Amino acid sequence: MFGYGNGWAVLLYGMVLLWIPLGPCVMAGLGVASARRPGRLRTAARILSAAVPVVAVGAPAAVLFNLFNPTGAPPNQQDIIGFTCVYFLALTVVPWVLAHAITRVVGARRRASRGAKPPGH
């Protein structure tokens, strides 16, 4: 497939290449939706903000940990550390923190525009 020896791996890593530029935008949109008043949209946005990165990180994890080929060699410690730093921290935690920060900023601005007191005051 596509001239590569392992076409499925190319497709799985392709999702990651799409997630790098689009992930922060998607997570920012989910952050704005999470700052809405309580309701179905807010609940769905919060669930999606946790579930969406699973595709970008879960697919390469399945390849790295040989879930599709259990007889393959297990990954070494450097591969696991690299995966944790790049895929987990850079591709999951950073966009999630971005969404969380945007949720807080949008919520604070909406409260300020309404002249309401912040929660807990």
Percentage of the chain with pLDDT > 70?
83
pLDDT confidence of 108, banded at 50, 70, 90? confident
What does the pLDDT look like over 53-106, one tens digit per residue?
777 777 777 777 777 677 777 778 888 888 788 777 877 777 778 777 887 888
pLDDT at site 1: 43
- Quote the radius of gyration of the chain (alpha carbons, Å): 19
Residue extents of the structural domains in the chain: 16-110
Buried b (16+ CB within 10 A) or exposed e, 3-28: eeeeeeeeebeeebeebeeebbebbb
Return d(Cα 91, Cα 87) in angstroms, integer.
Answer: 5
pLDDT at residue number 89: 80
Local confidence band at 46 (pLDDT 50, 70, 90 cut-offs): confident
d(CA 8, CA 40): 36
Summarize pLDDT for 15-45 with one digit per residue, the tens: 777 777 887 788 778 878 877 778 888 888 8
Euclidean distance between CA atoms 112 and 77, whole angstroms: 49
